[in-house]
Structure 1
Amino acid sequence: MAMSYSFREEAKPFRSKKSKGFLWISHSMWPFSWYKPKCESVNKPTTCLTVDSVMAFYLSLESGKFWFRAQVYNRENGHVGFMLSCYDAQLSYDSKTDTFQARYCPYARQSIEKNIHWDRLRAPPVGTPAQVLHTSDCLNDLKPGDHIEIQWRRSREFPFGWWYAVVGHQEFCDGNENRCLCRYNDKVVLEFSQYTPGSRWRQTIVNRKDHREVGEADGFYGGIRKLSEEEEISKWKQLWPKQIFD
Structure 2
Amino acid sequence: MSMVRKSLSSRVENVEEIEDKLSLLDLPELILECILEKLPPSSLCQMAGICHSLRERCVSDYFWERHMKKKWGGVIGQAAYREWKWHVASNMGVGSLKHGKQSGLWMKIFSLLWPFQGMKLKVGDGNDSCNHRSSLPVEAVMNWYLAIETGRFWFPAQVYNRENGHLGFLLSCYDAELSYDSRTNTFLARYPSHGRREARECGIPWERIRAPPVDISPHDLHISNCLNDLHPGNHIEIQWRRKKEFPYGWWYGVVGHLESCNNNENHCRCHNSDSVMIEFNHYTPGSRWRQTSINRKDHREEGNEADGFYGGIRKIESLNEISIWKRMWPSKVLD
Query: Is the TM value for this pair above 0.5?
Result: yes
Q: Name the residue aligned to 1:153.
A: 241
- Displacement after TM superposition at 1:47 (Å): 9.1
- Count of aligned pairs: 224
Contact 2:301 2:310 in 1 (8 A): yes
SS in 2 for 1:60: helix
Letter in 2 for 1:125: P
Q: Deviations over 1:166-216 (max 9, x none)?
A: 111111222121111111111111100000111011010101111110122
Q: Name the residue aligned to 1:80.
A: 164
Larger radius of gyration: 2
Spell out the pairing of 1:156-235 with structure 2 (5 A cutoff): 156-216=244-304, 217-235=306-324
Spell out the pairing of 1:6-155 with structure 2 (5 A cutoff): 23-24=68-69, 25=72, 34=86, 35=88, 39=104, 49-74=136-161, 78-81=162-165, 83-107=170-194, 111-155=199-243
Contact 1:70 1:124 in 2 (8 A): yes
Q: Which segment is superposed worse, 100-109 or 132-141?
A: 100-109
SS in 2 for 1:56: helix
CA distance in 1 between counterparts of 2:296 and 2:68 reads 42
**For the structure 1 residues 68 and 30, does the alpha-carbon distance in structure 2 shift closer, same or farther, using more than 3 Å as the test?**
closer
CA distance in 2 between counterparts of 1:70 and 1:237 reads 20
Contact 1:18 1:98 in 2 (8 A): no
Q: Greater relative contact order: 1 or 2 (C-alpha under 8 angstroms, separation 6 or more)? A: 1
Using the size of structure 2 for normalisation, the TM-score is 0.59
SS in 1 for 2:207: helix
Q: Deviations over 1:194-243 (max 9, x none)?
A: 00111011010101111110122110000011112222222211221224
Contact 1:189 1:205 in 2 (8 A): yes
CA distance in 1 between counterparts of 2:218 and 2:68 reads 26
**For the structure 1 residues 54 and 184, does the alpha-carbon distance in structure 2 shift closer, same or farther, using more than 3 Å as the test?**
closer
SS in 1 for 2:213: coil
**For the structure 1 residues 171 and 110, does the alpha-carbon distance in structure 2 shift closer, same or farther, using more than 3 Å as the test?**
farther
**For the structure 1 residues 94 and 47, does the alpha-carbon distance in structure 2 shift closer, same or farther, using more than 3 Å as the test?**
farther
Contact 2:68 2:145 in 1 (8 A): no
Q: Name the residue aligned to 1:11.
A: none
SS in 2 for 1:149: strand
CA distance in 1 between counterparts of 2:239 and 2:170 reads 14
Across the aligned residues of Structure 1 and Structure 2, the Cα RMSD in angstroms comes to 3.2
CA distance in 2 between counterparts of 1:179 and 1:215 reads 31
Letter in 1 for 2:317: S
Percent of aligned positions that are identical: 54
Whether 1:237 aligns to 2:326 is yes
CA distance in 2 between counterparts of 1:225 and 1:103 reads 25
CA distance in 1 between counterparts of 2:332 and 2:41 reads 33
CA distance in 1 between counterparts of 2:267 and 2:41 reads 53
- Displacement after TM superposition at 1:65 (Å): 1.3
Contact 2:163 2:171 in 1 (8 A): no
CA distance in 1 between counterparts of 2:145 and 2:233 reads 44
Letter in 2 for 1:63: T
CA distance in 1 between counterparts of 2:225 and 2:81 reads 30
Consecutive unaligned residues of structure 1, counting only runs of 5 or more, are 1-16
Q: Deviations over 1:61-83 (max 9, x none)?
A: 23311111111111xxx322373
CA distance in 1 between counterparts of 2:231 and 2:256 reads 8
